[in-house]
Amino acid sequence: MAKISVMNTDITVLNYNSHDYISLTDMASAKEGDSRAADIIKNWIRNRYTIEFLGTWEMIHNPGFKVVEFDHFRKQAGLPSFVLSASEWIESTNAIGIVVRKGRYGGTYAYKDIAFEFGTAISVPFKLYLIEEFQRLKEQEQAQIGWNAKRELSKINYRIHTDAIKQNLIPQEITPAQASRIYANEADVLNMALFGMTALEWRDKHPDLKGNIRDYASINELICLSNMESLNAVFIQDGIPQRERLIRLNRIAIQQMQVLEDLTGGRKLLK
């Protein structure tokens, strides 16, 4: 569940059966207030054009749609006595484009195509802003998915990095506490090369933030970090001293970040 703001009205976006459904109830409240939202939806559904639109959408997307019942509503649409609620439409035709939910987040929700069409019943500017805000929400979600994937890749490569440290830098006779300090020291080699500070320095600089420096890295930084972990593992296995590894990794980080910035226009690496 997510929220978007359209012309000072909060609109709920519900994930239902792996699809996005937008609250028609929230949208209707932007026109007449919460008390009239249900009436606005009913008046919209009973319209002949709306019935045609909903029925066509269902025939395209819903194999279980009851076309005979749809034809019955289509013939009655436009008559003064014709009344139709969202629940009646769903129950009679087995429609999936509109859902009615009860409880805390109750209301009438519609698949995005239908919700955009309903936006016209509010106002043309409202519909256009709704489409724009929904698209912005989807772009944010895709960016977050990309960040999560890069973070997971970084964690996998970090295992390769720690295995190289264990095999080449940690004597068998030292204590677990001493080994932990070696791991942390080598992790800070990467932090210094990419971020210009150690994990402790970052925590001192950001006492109110949870997590660690890598949790707040950009996608470009995570890509670079993943590459550096693999490279540092090779450098360790080759017996290259830490100071020389740090210098090499910093140069690589600057070069890779510049390339990534040219491609994506993201945040730049500070030397």
3-state DSSP of 109-167: EEEHHHHHHHHHHHCHHHHHHHHHHHHHHHHHHHHHHHHHHHHHHHHHHHHHHHHHHHH
The answer as to whether 269 is a domain residue is no
pLDDT of residue 156: 60
pLDDT-derived band at 267, boundaries 50, 70, 90: very low
**Among residues 96, 122, 148, which one ends one of the domains?**
122
Do residues 109 and 225 share a domain?
no
* More confident: 136 or 110: 110
pLDDT-derived band at 185, boundaries 50, 70, 90: confident
In this predicted structure, the answer to whether residue 192 has a pLDDT above a threshold of 80 is yes
Do residues 113 and 153 share a domain?
no
Do residues 149 and 214 share a domain?
yes
Do residues 100 and 147 share a domain?
no
Is there a contact between 191 and 202 (Cβ–Cβ < 8 Å)? yes
Q: 58: buried, middle or exposed (CB in 10 Å: 19+, 13-18, 0-12)?
A: buried
pLDDT of residue 264: 59
* H helix or E strand, kind and range, residue 210: none
* More confident: 205 or 270: 205
Is there a contact between 134 and 6 (Cβ–Cβ < 8 Å)? no
pLDDT of residue 114: 93
Which of 245-254's residues contact partners 24+ apart within 8 Å by CB, and which partners?
245/189, 246/189, 246/192, 246/193, 249/189, 249/190, 249/193, 249/194, 250/192, 250/193, 250/194, 252/193, 252/227, 252/228, 253/193, 253/194, 253/224, 253/228
The answer as to whether 271 is a domain residue is no
Averaged pLDDT, 41-59: 91
Do residues 156 and 62 share a domain?
no
The answer as to whether 162 is a domain residue is yes
Averaged pLDDT, 200-221: 86
pLDDT of residue 133: 86
Do residues 244 and 164 share a domain?
yes
Do residues 218 and 118 share a domain?
no
pLDDT-derived band at 93, boundaries 50, 70, 90: very high
Share of the chain above pLDDT 70, in %: 83
Do residues 152 and 258 share a domain?
yes
The answer as to whether 132 is a domain residue is no
Which tens digits make up the pLDDT trace of 156-183? 666 656 666 666 666 666 677 777 788 7
| Range scoring the smallest mean pLDDT among 12-16, 78-82, 123-127 | 78-82
Do residues 115 and 201 share a domain?
no
Is there a contact between 20 and 137 (Cβ–Cβ < 8 Å)? no
Q: What pTM did the predictor assign? A: 0.52
Share of the chain above pLDDT 90, in %: 21
The rounded distance, in Å, linking the Cα atoms of 225 and 223 is 5
Residue 211 is classified by DSSP as S
Do residues 167 and 95 share a domain?
no
pLDDT of residue 58: 94
The rounded distance, in Å, linking the Cα atoms of 166 and 160 is 10
Count of structural domains, the chain: 2
**Among residues 75, 94, 122, which one ends one of the domains?**
122
In this predicted structure, the answer to whether residue 259 has a pLDDT above a threshold of 60 is yes
**Among residues 88, 122, 156, which one ends one of the domains?**
122
Do residues 150 and 181 share a domain?
yes
Do residues 106 and 157 share a domain?
no
The answer as to whether 108 is a domain residue is yes
Please give the C-alpha separations between residue 117 and each of 11, 58, 121, 131, in angstroms, as whole numbers: 15, 14, 8, 10
* More confident: 14 or 59: 59
pLDDT of residue 271: 33
In this predicted structure, the answer to whether residue 147 has a pLDDT above a threshold of 80 is no
CA 219 from chain centre, in angstroms, equals 14
The answer as to whether 127 is a domain residue is no
The answer as to whether 196 is a domain residue is yes
Mean pLDDT of the residues in the chain: 82
Domain that holds residue 46: 2-122
Q: 201: buried, middle or exposed (CB in 10 Å: 19+, 13-18, 0-12)?
A: middle
The answer as to whether 128 is a domain residue is no
